[in-house]
Amino acid sequence: MLEVNHALELLRPFLRPFKLDRVFPEYILNLKRKIKVINPSILVVVDFYNFTFYQFLKFKKINPDSKLYLWSETRNWPKFWLSRWLMYGFWWYFKRNMRYVEKVFVFTEAGKIFFNTYAPEINVEVFSAPIDSNVFFSDKNKLYTVNDELHIIMNARYIALKEHRTLFKAAKILKDKKNDFTISLIGRGGHLETELKEYAKKLGIDDTITWLEPVQLTELQAIYNDHDVLVLPSNREAIGMVVPEAMACGLATITSDAVGANTYVEERETGLVFEAGNESQLVDCLEQLKKSGVAAHMGKQAAAVIQKKYTINVLGQKFARALE
């Protein structure tokens, strides 16, 4: 595998306060020497704001018989002005060289709309990220709403855009309405953990929350299996792979309308979508999941949808056909 420039990676924490980490450009060291050994006929590179795209573009220009594909998770311009202007610069150069790109693959319909709007002349195809069904799968003996409790899990970093507070405010309403539920949180980093714990205590819901330690990817299936629904209330989420991962494990999902991974969700069949930041709508969704048999039905449907459409084998074959 080609090595990424770790020196550049060290700069990411310093760029994050300025909201520049989203357009953080990656670079592959010694690519010219390494790629000469491989001599690929097909090049697939991630996003136009990475230096790697321009490294592969250079190879394509020298080797015109090769085919260059772009895989992008971009679906809008950054809100922060400096990030936005940096991306504008990359976009300008990308537009100048679009003729060398065979096709752009995007993860979501929102991504397709972005490219169709700002680069209508390029070929764009929606292509969701695959799920490893050997790692994420549904337990045939899975039980739902044990003891008539709704077991909720949120797997997200402790940062503002993930909107833990929206979930907490919904939990406060549920508790006041005498609903039985538990919440498990896996933080995976972030700087707001202490602040969120204090907020949960202030709302009086800290006794309903279990703060789990981050685990290896291969250990998530067992944790998901102990829950009924995954909630992802983010106010901005390019994809949110925890959504299809949880679906594969037999969980219904409740996501905000700002989550890119809604492309996997068949609303009211495998999950529910609510307006970002609207805790009242989130409460309504959670109460629907608590009704007899609803979490089980949606969870089983979710696992079936992932197996049918989004496994590595299924999408691998589809991707091979797309490259042909």
Q: What is the pLDDT of residues 233-264, one digit of tens each?
A: 999 998 999 999 999 999 999 999 999 999 99
Mean pLDDT, to the nearest integer, of 88-98?
A: 95
| Tens digits of residue pLDDT in 123-146 | 999 999 999 999 999 999 999 999
Which of the four pLDDT bands, split at 50, 70 and 90, describes residue 322?
confident
Give me the pLDDT at residue 6, please: 40
> Which distant-in-sequence residues (6+ apart) come within 8 Å of 98 by Cβ?
119, 121, 122
For residue 23, is pLDDT > 70? no
pLDDT in tens, 186-240: 987 889 999 999 999 999 999 999 999 999 999 999 999 999 999 999 999 989 9
Residue among 29, 205, 203, 48 nearest 111 (CA): 48
Per-residue pLDDT band for 112 (boundaries 50, 70, 90) equals very high
pLDDT band at 36 (very low <50, low <70, confident <90, very high): confident
pLDDT of 178 over the 70 cut: yes
pLDDT tens digits along 300-316: 999 999 999 999 999 99
CA distance 261 to 243: 6
In this prediction, residue 80 carries a pLDDT of 86
| Domains along the chain with CATH numbers | 6-127 (no CATH), 146-309 (3.40.50.2000)
Q: What is the 3-state secondary structure (H, E, C) of 157-199?
A: CCCHHHCHHHHHHHHHHHHHCCCCEEEEEECCCCCCHHHHHHH
Comparison of pLDDT for 20 and 114, the residue scoring more: 114
For the whole model, what pTM was predicted? 0.84
DSSP string, 101-148: EEEEEESSHHHHHHHHHH-TTS-EEE-PPPB-TTTS---TT---SGGG
**Band of pLDDT at residue 169, cut at 50, 70 and 90:** very high
- pLDDT of 28 over the 90 cut: no
pLDDT score of 25? 55
